[in-house]
Amino acid sequence: MSQPLDQWGAFVIVAAGIGSVFLIVPLIRYELGENYLRVALGGVTLRKIPFSDIEFVDTKAPLWNEHWCNAFITRGRIVRIRRKSGLVRNFIITPKDRETFIQELQARIASR
């Protein structure tokens, strides 16, 4: 008799986990500081990339990369930041206005 309850409990846990992903992912933000690109969730920094570690920026999405997307439908929003160091050098983000973000990021990189 406890087995059906255990299965329902597992289902509820999985459903809650999937639901929380759908709530949290859109809250991810990208901020350009003075010296780094910051990926944040609310006020919590999830990831920082120094401008000095950025090799180039483009709109390709290679197979091997680190994803920090804030959208489930990423078509026309993908920005790849190629790092100079690290095991996984491709860093993918999805800002709303891709072209403006790329211009601002390249301007910050050039000024350093």
pLDDT digits (tens, 9 = 90+) for 10-45: 888 887 777 777 778 888 999 999 899 999 998 899
Rounded Cα distance between 89 and 54, Å, is 9
Q: Has residue 4 got a pLDDT over 70?
A: no
Q: What pLDDT is stored for residue 5 in this prediction?
A: 58
pLDDT in tens, 50-103: 999 999 999 998 889 999 999 888 889 999 999 999 999 999 999 999 999 999
Q: How far apart are CA 93 and CA 71, in angstroms?
A: 9
Task: Decide: 79 and 95 in contact? Cβ < 8 Å.
Answer: yes
- What is each CA distance from 89 to 43, 54, 61, 82, 107, in whole angstroms? 25, 9, 12, 6, 21
Selected from 3.40.190.290, 2.40.170.20, 3.40.50.300, 2.30.29.30, the CATH number assigned to the domain covering 2-111 reads: 2.30.29.30
User: pTM above the 0.95 mark?
Assistant: no
**Whole-angstrom Cα distance, residue 16 to residue 20?**
6
